[in-house]
Structure 1
Amino acid sequence: MSVPHPARVVVRQPSRPPALSRRGFLGLAAAASAVALAGCAGGSDAAGPGQPRSGGRLRAAFAGGGAKEVLDPHMANLFVEASRSKAMFDKLADLGDDVSPVPRLAERWEPDAGLTRWRVVLRQATFHDGRPVRAADVLASYARILDPKRAFRAKSSLAVIDLANSRAVDDRTVEFALRRPFVEFPNVLAAFGAYVVPEGAEDFSRPVGSGPFSFVSFEPGRSLLLRRNPNYWEGAPHLDELEFLISNDESARVNALLGGQVEYAHDLTPTTARSYEHSDRLTVVRSPNSAMQAFAMKLDRPPFDNQDLREAMFLLVDRQQLVETTLSGAGQIGNDLFGKGYQYYADEIPQRARDLDRARALIRKAGAEGLRVKLDTSGAAAGFVEAASVFADQARQVGLQVEVAVGNKDSFWADTLNNGSLSSYRSGAMPIETHIAQRLLSASTTNVTKWARPEFDALYDKAVSTKDEAQRRQLYLEMQRAQHAEGGFLVWGFADWLVATAPRVGGVAKAPANTLDWARFDKVWLG
């Protein structure tokens, strides 16, 4: 991608070679170059051939987390970990295409009149070793997630549960006691990482779940092989086997697909997708409005503990340029808020427009003229480095010197959760309530912006305890007004999610990232 006046790029920490290198695992340089960017009629947005067929092994290439990867579903954070977890495990609920909760292991749920006790009835399902999924397994799984000595991502969402006063009514009925009235409790059941594991499970070297695929073998940072679970409660998968392969190089993933070494390549850049849009060698599958694109400013340290400087950052950014250059137009601009188009999204808040004069005035007021600030980014997500470079050029127009620091792909998310002051950020889909619970409350475990406001926490508590939807909507609006004015997420866009498949692959859904049908392989087949 060509960017005017390239920003200075400082390599902070060299990345380890990806597990699937072009020369090592792929060996496709010559073959791939022969077909690269070759447009031939026949491609489309819809994946695959007509009728489902049984059999075969599908090989899916994802970016990964390196040699320290584990298969503990409660530790899932990366997209590959989320896809692997849903292949092997189940949650009580998950998110539908509209990001509302749909039943999974839970057959149904019902609250009491005060919204403080919720009764959940389990469907008949079994773990891979033949044991039934019981209420005791659900309670043990949630107790594990809520263990104060651990830092599981779902803990923030599940914290509303009073586990000591919850109980198994019988093997298929759980009664959850809540710490306060909570109308959004189905979101908790669908929380990212809230998987049900067998009671007492701690060793995930050979994991046992209740999902559509069961474990065969695992090499951290390289591959995971799974086989069909013929007893899956929703019906056995079409595929005999599913193999996850790791490459943190997007072009390597595409070349592996073109060379016939994989059938599914996750997370394409918009430029790559556009280049192959009409190729008969692969099929591009688009999921619109799937990924929030942002920069995260930490509010608990200089320089972004200064609200005037944060507002200047909001005003200096040219959002349309970022969408057009780094997303190749495959997306829409953001307004510094998560969840565009989802329930409770604050459409009432006017779209911010670029205002360089106001930005300069705020920078002077903050005493930040000539400020040099490091922007941490990496190749951990497609387009991160390019977007950081474009943003640095935009900041230079108001006198800020943003130095782009390219860090380790494998450890980027862990590195930037607590370190630095400004970083690239993105998120898949989830309810706005879940986004707030996991990222914006004082006790949230993935609070990358370090937003901590007792009055904001109180608004959240009031919103999720309010039965009247109109009143609840007003409370969410108030929370979003606070975030828009003073928060640390500079949300510049919402990207389409892009994957590629071999033409013979069918059943790949156009579902938003992080929802049930995204990166879900039990409904996929090989033609």
Structure 2
Amino acid sequence: MGVTGGSTADVVDAHATVSYPDIARVIQLYDSLAVYNANYEVEFALAESIQPSLDARAWTIRLKSGLEFHSGKPVTADDVVYTLRRIVDPAAPKNAAQALSAVDPNNIQILDSLTLQLNLKRPDVTLPEALAVYDTGIVPVGYDPRHPVGTGPFTYSSFTPGQQSVFLRNNHYWRPGEPYVDQVTIIDYPDDTTRVNALLAGKLDAIDQLPIGQVDTITPRPDLHVLESQTGAWIPFTMRVDTPPFNDQRVRQAFRLVVDRDQMVHQVLGSHGVAANDLYARYDPAYLSTAPQRHQDITEAKNLLKQAGHESLTVELVTAPVATGLVESAHLFAQQAAAAGITVHVREVDPGVFYGDNYLKWPFAQDFYLTRNYLLQTEAGTLPGSPFNETHWNDPTYTSLVTRARATVDQNTRTNLLHQAQQIEYDRGGYIIWSFLNQIGAHTTKLHGFVPHRSGIPLSGYEFRRAWFSG
């Protein structure tokens, strides 16, 4: 498998992924209590049930029986407690810590060897969704990420950061018959051309994130197949709202208005996506679909910049080849912004620099996100304690609305609160969200088991446990 990106900062830690290769690795090694299926619906995985109290303040989790870690150790409620405490540890919080911030690590009751009860700090209706994220894989008590052990379909064999990792079939996997292949090798490819050429030369069985310009090269080949999925994935421009000039709401509005979204979708994505409206979570039932669609308006952008005292503005935009369309959209944005008198210097860096010491600190940059429902995405990126708050967004009214929504069991009341929160982001947020992009990969026609997947995680959610070969 050729996977986009990777660097010497790569990890196999179940709870600390950053890049696509990181995500691909943890999905092979670990399983969570729940999982998102191809339609982006939550299904139980290691959990047999996850049941709330009437007020969603207490949740009872029961594990499936007969589960084993790669080491042969049975999976018990103690391991779940250890995992959750590791994720939310205030001294070293992991990626899902904010999403699981309602979990009180000191108020978990073990009811029996397979059952536990979480007594939350506050009601939280999103708990099953949070427990289905790939960054919540269950690990054994005493887990050491240098010697990774999980319950996943493949066991750890070797790992060289920035290069490749090898995983072997878990012969005692809990899903009957799976996985079907004996070995998975995940190879990092920061360079698109090298990755595609390796597939064309028969050196790879599959690649994620097929560049749009290469779709027509792959399609005619009888030995190769293009896999395309409509998703809720998005690749925003990120403006730090606490740093000039983006600390002025008028500048942020102007930057949103210089974007020709239809041109972006057509030119950057080859029409393999749809125009977005500076809001994420398109599959969430509470998505604010009534917000007026933004279109390019150079005149109004100039007016806003003039009001803000930035008629002639020069900014640096930092980008890297870490996801489909990032670099291309950066250069097209620079062209579009020029019409409003904005000079954009595009600074392209390698993935190691992008995810280095300045990651989440760049005043104006880009990033990528996969499909999430609204409340989980806010925990990832738009609350003061979010692990990926690259816009440094900290709006007390917004935070209050989101916090109340998470604790609201009634769906209509919760939707109203979320509409108010989304309106605030739409009016003055730090993201420019110009598209929801289709996820495109490619694989040999001898490889089967992949299906379109709404999650935005490439190659059928990186669920290589489903992959199998024909003769």
Report how far residue 274 of structure 1 moved: 3.2
Aligned residues: 467
Is 2:211 aligned against 1:269? Answer: yes
C-alpha change, 1:498 and 1:207, in structure 2 (3 Å) is same
Aligned to 1:524: 467
Report how far residue 377 of structure 1 moved: 0.5
| Secondary structure at the counterpart of residue 135 of structure 2 | coil
Q: Which runs of 5+ in 1 are unaligned?
A: 1-59
Aligned to 1:379: 321
Aligned to 1:29: none
Report how far residue 272 of structure 1 moved: 1.1
| Secondary structure at the counterpart of residue 391 of structure 2 | coil
Is 2:36 aligned against 1:95? Answer: yes
CA RMSD of aligned residues (A): 1.5
Q: Is the 8 A contact 2:208 2:459 kept in 1?
A: no
C-alpha change, 1:416 and 1:271, in structure 2 (3 Å) is farther
- Structure number with higher relative contact order (C-alpha < 8 Å, ≥ 6 residues apart): 1
Distance (whole Å) between structure 1 residues aligned to residue 286 and residue 355 of structure 2? 28
Aligned to 1:33: none
Aligned to 1:351: 293
Distance (whole Å) between structure 1 residues aligned to residue 379 and residue 195 of structure 2? 34
Is 2:278 aligned against 1:336? Answer: yes
Distance (whole Å) between structure 2 residues aligned to residue 458 and residue 516 of structure 1? 37
Distance (whole Å) between structure 1 residues aligned to residue 83 and residue 283 of structure 2? 32
Aligned to 1:246: 188
C-alpha change, 1:183 and 1:516, in structure 2 (3 Å) is farther
Report how far residue 520 of structure 1 moved: 0.8
**Aligned pairs (5 A) from 1:78-477:** 78-124=19-65, 125-202=67-144, 204-235=145-176, 236-415=178-357, 417-477=359-419
Report how far residue 462 of structure 1 moved: 1.0
Deviations 1:77-121 (A, max 9, x none): 212211211111111112223333211111111111221110011
Report how far residue 516 of structure 1 moved: 11
- The more displaced of 288-297 and 325-334 is 288-297
| Secondary structure at the counterpart of residue 385 of structure 1 | helix
| Secondary structure at the counterpart of residue 109 of structure 1 | strand
Distance (whole Å) between structure 1 residues aligned to residue 160 and residue 348 of structure 2? 27
Moved over 6 A (4+): none
Q: Is the 8 A contact 1:417 1:447 kept in 2?
A: no
C-alpha change, 1:434 and 1:395, in structure 2 (3 Å) is same
Distance (whole Å) between structure 2 residues aligned to residue 411 and residue 104 of structure 1? 36
Deviations 1:353-382 (A, max 9, x none): 221111110000011111100000011222
| Secondary structure at the counterpart of residue 75 of structure 1 | coil
| Secondary structure at the counterpart of residue 226 of structure 2 | strand
- The more displaced of 380-389 and 295-304 is 380-389
Q: Which runs of 5+ in 2 are unaligned?
A: none
Q: Is the 8 A contact 1:312 1:360 kept in 2?
A: yes
Q: Is the 8 A contact 2:380 2:386 kept in 1?
A: yes
| Secondary structure at the counterpart of residue 81 of structure 2 | helix
Distance (whole Å) between structure 1 residues aligned to residue 391 and residue 37 of structure 2? 28
- The more displaced of 320-329 and 187-196 is 187-196
Report how far residue 209 of structure 1 moved: 0.8
Distance (whole Å) between structure 2 residues aligned to residue 515 and residue 322 of structure 1? 21
Q: Is the 8 A contact 2:29 2:155 kept in 1?
A: yes
Distance (whole Å) between structure 2 residues aligned to residue 194 and residue 414 of structure 1? 24
C-alpha change, 1:197 and 1:516, in structure 2 (3 Å) is farther
Deviations 1:203-253 (A, max 9, x none): x23311101111112222211111111111112311011111111111211
Aligned to 2:17: 76
Which amino acid letter does the alignment assign opposite residue 292 of structure 1?
W
C-alpha change, 1:113 and 1:341, in structure 2 (3 Å) is closer
Which amino acid letter does the alignment assign opposite residue 202 of structure 2?
G
Distance (whole Å) between structure 1 residues aligned to residue 237 and residue 433 of structure 2? 7
Distance (whole Å) between structure 1 residues aligned to residue 393 and residue 328 of structure 2? 27
| Secondary structure at the counterpart of residue 244 of structure 1 | strand
Query: Percent identity between the aligned chains?
Result: 30
TM-score under structure 2 normalisation?
0.96
- The more displaced of 384-393 and 185-194 is 185-194
Report how far residue 394 of structure 1 moved: 0.6
